[in-house]
Chains A and B, each alone.
Chain A
């Protein structure tokens, strides 16, 4: 019996290895293909493509950061309400929040344009603007941030907050001094995942705001114009930056 269980585990572990290979192999092959001077070219060359790519990378980073911050502002109060209260229709609201996960991203671009574009009922000047990029990124990443924060709030025993209140803290004071610091890991994880998701968004941005160009758009153009050569360099830089942010934040928050 024991031997058969171990055999099963061995097979499962084999499956896990395949999964890891699927993730890691493409990244490794990218690093093997791109020569070291690819990176120096990216950051130093005056060739048109790299000038454009550097600018686009900055646009992507600032837009993704802006989207992450706006989702923190939206997500913290919303997730708290959903985690701590019961009310009729809550399940429906929770389902609505997950909708962005289900809509193809090109379609997200179309519906945002229809609603908030120049001819939409609410014109938010999103057509080919930085704000348009931020809005698209915010829309597609919203469920990730909200759900991560909600899980965080749910794990915090409400009595921790009640004690603070009984000791003389107002609701908001108890929230900011007790509850919020206790979910800092979820805030970090939510921000990281949101940021990464926002950085990788391209479908909806293609529709709403082709300009100012984000790094993904530039990679797409490079691929269509020159094939893999430049696209690979740009991709390697992008992956390196994302991985660096990911690892750095994880290390900062490891206790």
Chain B
């Protein structure tokens, strides 16, 4: 569980303000907002790469606001997945476990287990450069999930994928979450992703988290309105053959 209270971040001329945000254990939170609104800054602040000007971040009840990233258990999956090109897929995934001093035997069995779930068993000895976008994403998820993060931070996890596999990938993420029920903050500018994956939905505008909503509730807000209008236009066209 993660709790953010009255968080203020100042980066040059940019200001981020999160009055209050709570993600319960096992919950899939999607934070939506246009590009440049500060979503990545929020994730980097939770991960500990940016120090807030004020406010508190609590992870599983512990105040981590002043703790270094490696002590937080908040694992980041960046937009481009950031797989380490000099390591094989296996060694990418093993990295976090090796840091924890886990035996190679145990690492091997855990990697087998998670690569089974993620369908990447056949990729373990490949180098990241040889993987497709979707494969990279799965490897990045495996690398993050294998350490049982207290919170998983997904930065636009679908936006670098080709449209064709994006939808599949979205479905896959949902299933994966149903299987492993990790606590997640997923940030995106995409309404479809938001509505499909979010158990709770946060909306950000101009550096401020405006509010957190249930999916049904979010659809009725003014923020969802422009998207809903477009979608109903598309659906209307299809259903009635005219606009």
Listed in ascending order, the chain A residues whose CB lies under 8 Å from chain B are 157, 159-160, 162-171, 173, 177-178, 181-182
Q: Mark B147-184, 1 if CB is under 8 A from A, else 0.
A: 10000010000000000000000000000000000000
Report chain A residues within 8 Å CB of B147: 167-168
Query: Which of the residues B75, B80, B84, B100 comes within 8 Å of A166, measured between beta carbons?
Result: B75
When C-beta atoms are compared, the residue in chain A nearest to B96 turns out to be: A167
Report chain B residues within 8 Å CB of A166: 47-48, 69-70, 72, 74-76, 153
Q: Which of A168, A169, A171, A177 has the most CB of B within 10 A?
A: A168
Query: Which of the residues B70, B76, B80, B85 comes within 8 Å of A169, measured between beta carbons?
Result: B70
Report chain B residues within 8 Å CB of A167: 70, 75, 95-96, 99, 143-144, 147
Report chain A residues within 8 Å CB of B99: 167-169, 173
List residues of B (27-65) whose CB comes within 8 Å of A's CBs.
44, 47-49
Expressed in whole angstroms, the Cα–Cα distance for A157 and B70 within the complex equals 19
Verify A162–B82 contact, CB threshold 8 A: yes
Residue B78 lies at the interface, judged by CB distance under 8 Å to chain A: yes
Count, chain B residues at interface, CB 8 A = 27
Verify A170–B68 contact, CB threshold 8 A: yes
Report chain A residues within 8 Å CB of B85: 182
Verify B80–A157 contact, CB threshold 8 A: yes
When C-beta atoms are compared, the residue in chain A nearest to B71 turns out to be: A168
Verify B86–A181 contact, CB threshold 8 A: yes
| Residues A163 and B49 in contact in the complex (CB < 8 Å), given A168-B99, A169-B70 | no
Expressed in whole angstroms, the Cα–Cα distance for A169 and B70 within the complex equals 5
Expressed in whole angstroms, the Cα–Cα distance for A169 and B73 within the complex equals 11
Expressed in whole angstroms, the Cα–Cα distance for A159 and B78 within the complex equals 7
27 example contacts (A-B, Cβ-Cβ < 8 A) are as follows A157-B80, A157-B82, A159-B78, A159-B82, A160-B82, A162-B47, A163-B76, A163-B78, A164-B95, A165-B48, A165-B69, A166-B72, A166-B74, A166-B75, A166-B76, A167-B144, A168-B70, A168-B96, A168-B147, A169-B70, A170-B68, A170-B70, A173-B99, A178-B84, A181-B86, A182-B84, A182-B86
Report chain B residues within 8 Å CB of A163: 75-78, 82, 143
When C-beta atoms are compared, the residue in chain B nearest to A157 turns out to be: B82
Expressed in whole angstroms, the Cα–Cα distance for A181 and B86 within the complex equals 7
